[in-house]
Amino acid sequence: MDAVVRALESGQLTGTRESLEAWLDGAPIREEYLIVEGGALAGTGAHSYSTGK
């Protein structure tokens, strides 16, 4: 089980790093990592969350 948890954590770390590097470079963040853009739900966030309105 520890190996599975480590693999999942590694994937999360990779996505976080990629998103941060893209943001710092002024490049677009991949849609599957995007939750909010311009104050509105976007990408995966638009499919996974609601604003409660």
How far is Cα 29 from Cα 1, in angstroms, rounded to an integer?
Answer: 31
Element (H, E) at 3: helix 2-25
- Series of mean pLDDT values for 10-residue runs along the chain (53 residues): 81 89 95 90 89 80
What does the pLDDT read at residue 22?
95
Distances (CA, A) of 47 to 21, 22, 25, 43: 24, 22, 26, 7
